């Protein structure tokens, strides 16, 4: 039986512009600059003033009391309703018209030179060129090199490689031939490249070393007792090879010197060198904290005056053709987009500033003294309540952004932590507890590492009653292995 009914439902949806604004807020300085350049390319109505007009210093202080910002809607507008002056700078001629491509000695060239290093795989191919190989062998060798990942491993079975070469390259061979060519590839530098697992990688590196008693014992350990070695069952190794602790220690020292990721050690294998650009700067001036937003987040944008001339020409024309009407509609769309982007950047600046300002004063003691024990427990909701923003907005500001402080450049999200009550009833930050845990582990006897239950007892004696499972959670967050794997002979 069909039944019709009416139902009222309230729902909240984000407009495409709001979504774009949230994305802008989330971007750190370098990514924001790239996004800005993309918008300048995509929207010919949007232009950037010269940097001298934008700001005199590298840092920009936001005026948070400015109420000029209004939400901009997408309503259809007529050419007569567009106030062009809102988009224009005070100059009659845009700055870009005075600029040329000529270079003079007085110009400040801020561009950085980029190196063009040989890639990891190209270096391996270059080494192959020194080998005397037949055409078929070279094709197989180059295919094997192409199968090596950035860490230096071939993570495929020989049979898979044989099948793949037949289907994709038309190279028909057998497993024995591939194994033989693989041994040639494994002779390339860096040592260990072309291995199919960690055990083989370590063995290849050991066999490249000058033979000695320690090296020979290390090879036997990896070949015969790799599982016991990886689990640090040293008593079993001493019994198996009938050696002294000193002999085993020397062999293990040789193994620990090896590189488990030989491809990662290649100098030219760096995909990108990341430079951290602080989004904020905190200074101490006369005992008071001062917050500055990186000036690169405050570009001066305006609308091209060429668009003003086109609109003016359209207004002055008594008989308007259909092509002119289409053109003015295009101009209106670009003006709408430019207006929104300018306002969005302004709102981004204010959101970043007020959020970081709240974080700075919440952690005022830390920023004045630099002691991590002064970091107060702080969660996203604490800051969201202070500035009247949504928790997700605060999270976007804190994510992947850095602040330059008198004590170094810090990732903002590291200032956030949960709270815990110590034995005196005081709330302390989990950051402080993690630092103490890390210190206790660094001072332990590595021959008898402390298990989690003993670590919990030690922290309890220091005034931090923490459960064993919490110790395990903090230890994993600090990337510290379990006691068994911290053991040294």
Q: Which of 250, 272, 304 is nearest to 89 (CA)?
A: 304
Q: Which two tokens stand for residue 434?
A: 């993690």
- The domain spanning residue 426 has which CATH number? 1.10.10.60
239 assigned to some structural domain: yes
29 assigned to some structural domain: no
312 assigned to some structural domain: no
Q: Which two tokens stand for residue 20?
A: 């774009």
What's the confidence (pLDDT) of residue 82? Answer: 47
Whether the predicted pLDDT of 201 surpasses 90:
yes
Whether the predicted pLDDT of 53 surpasses 70:
no
- CB-based contact 120:262 (threshold 8 Å): no
- CB-based contact 280:292 (threshold 8 Å): yes
364 assigned to some structural domain: no
DSSP string over 350-374:
HHHHHHHHHHHHHTHHHHHH--GGG
Q: How many domains is the chain built from? A: 2
**Count of residues for the chain?**
489
What's the confidence (pLDDT) of residue 358? Answer: 94
Domain limit, last residue, from 258, 287, 305? 258
What's the confidence (pLDDT) of residue 289? Answer: 92
| Confidence label for 117 from pLDDT (cuts 50, 70 and 90) | low
| Predicted TM-score (pTM) of this structure | 0.55
pLDDT in tens, 65-86: 444 333 334 334 444 454 444 4
| Confidence label for 15 from pLDDT (cuts 50, 70 and 90) | low
pLDDT in tens, 442-488: 888 888 888 898 898 888 888 888 888 888 888 888 888 888 888 88
Domain limit, last residue, from 258, 275, 305? 258
What's the confidence (pLDDT) of residue 206? Answer: 93
What's the confidence (pLDDT) of residue 295? Answer: 83
246 assigned to some structural domain: yes
Q: Which residues of 250-283 are buried (b: 16+ CB within 10 A; e: fewer)?
A: bbbebbeebbeebbeebeebeeeeeeebbbbbbe
Using alpha carbons, list the distances in angstroms from residue 234 to 91, 249, 355, 410, 444. Answer: 78, 10, 53, 41, 19
Whether the predicted pLDDT of 97 surpasses 50:
no
346 assigned to some structural domain: no
Q: Which of 437, 356, 429, 438 is nearest to 399 (CA)?
A: 356
Whether the predicted pLDDT of 257 surpasses 70:
yes
331 assigned to some structural domain: no
Give the SS3 label for residue 142: helix
Mean per-residue pLDDT, 264-275: 57
Residue 240 structural domain: 195-258
Domain limit, last residue, from 216, 241, 258? 258
205 assigned to some structural domain: yes
């Amino acid at each position: 039986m069909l039944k019709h009914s009416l139902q009222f439902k309230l729902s909240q949806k984000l407009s495409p512009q709001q979504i774009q604004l949230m994305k802008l807020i989330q971007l750190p300085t370098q990514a924001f600059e790239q996004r800005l350049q993309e918008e300048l390319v995509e929207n010919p109505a949007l232009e950037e003033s010269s940097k001298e007009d934008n700001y005199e210093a590298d840092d920009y202080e936001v005026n948070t009391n400015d109420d000029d910002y209004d939400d901009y809607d997408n309503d259809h507008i007529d050419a007569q309703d567009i106030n062009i002056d809102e988009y224009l700078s005070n100059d009659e001629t845009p700055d870009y018209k005075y600029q040329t491509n000529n270079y003079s000695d007085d110009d400040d060239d801020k561009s950085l030179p980029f190196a063009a290093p040989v890639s990891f795989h190209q270096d391996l191919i270059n080494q192959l060129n020194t080998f005397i190989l037949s055409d078929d062998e070279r094709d197989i060798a180059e295919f094997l090199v192409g199968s090596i990942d950035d860490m230096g491993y071939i993570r495929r079975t020989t049979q898979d490689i044989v099948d793949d070469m037949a289907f994709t390259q038309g190279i028909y061979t057998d497993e024995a031939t591939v194994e033989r060519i693989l041994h040639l590839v494994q002779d390339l530098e860096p040592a260990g490249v072309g291995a199919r697992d960690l055990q083989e990688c370590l063995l290849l590196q050991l066999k490249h070393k000058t033979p000695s008693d320690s090296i020979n014992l290390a090879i036997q350990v990896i070949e015969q007792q790799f599982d016991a070695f990886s689990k640090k069952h040293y008593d079993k190794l001493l019994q198996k090879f009938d050696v002294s602790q000193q002999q085993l220690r020397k062999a293990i020292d040789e193994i620990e010197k090896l590189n488990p990721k030989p491809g990662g050690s290649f100098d030219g294998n760096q995909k990108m060198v990341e430079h951290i650009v602080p989004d904020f700067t905190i200074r101490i001036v006369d005992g008071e904290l001062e917050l500055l937003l990186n000036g690169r987040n405050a570009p001066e944008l305006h609308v091209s005056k060429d668009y003003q001339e086109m609109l003016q020409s359209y207004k002055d024309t008594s008989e308007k053709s259909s092509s002119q009407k289409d053109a003015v509609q295009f101009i209106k769309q670009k003006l709408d987009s430019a207006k929104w982007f300018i306002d969005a950047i302004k709102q981004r600046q204010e959101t970043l500033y007020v959020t970081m300002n709240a974080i700075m004063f919440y952690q005022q003691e830390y920023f004045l003294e630099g002691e991590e024990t002064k970091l107060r427990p702080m969660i996203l909701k604490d800051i969201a309540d202070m500035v009247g923003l949504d928790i997700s907005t605060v999270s976007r500001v804190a994510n992947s952004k850095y602040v330059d402080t008198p004590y170094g450049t810090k990732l903002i999200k590291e200032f956030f932590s949960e709270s815990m009550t110590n034995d005196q009833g005081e709330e302390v930050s989990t950051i402080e507890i993690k630092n103490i845990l890390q210190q206790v582990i660094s001072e332990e006897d590595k021959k008898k590492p402390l298990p989690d239950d003993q670590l919990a007892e030690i922290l309890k004696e220091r005034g931090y009653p923490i459960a064993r499972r919490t110790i395990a959670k903090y230890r994993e967050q600090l990337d510290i292995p379990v006691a068994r794997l911290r053991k040294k002979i």
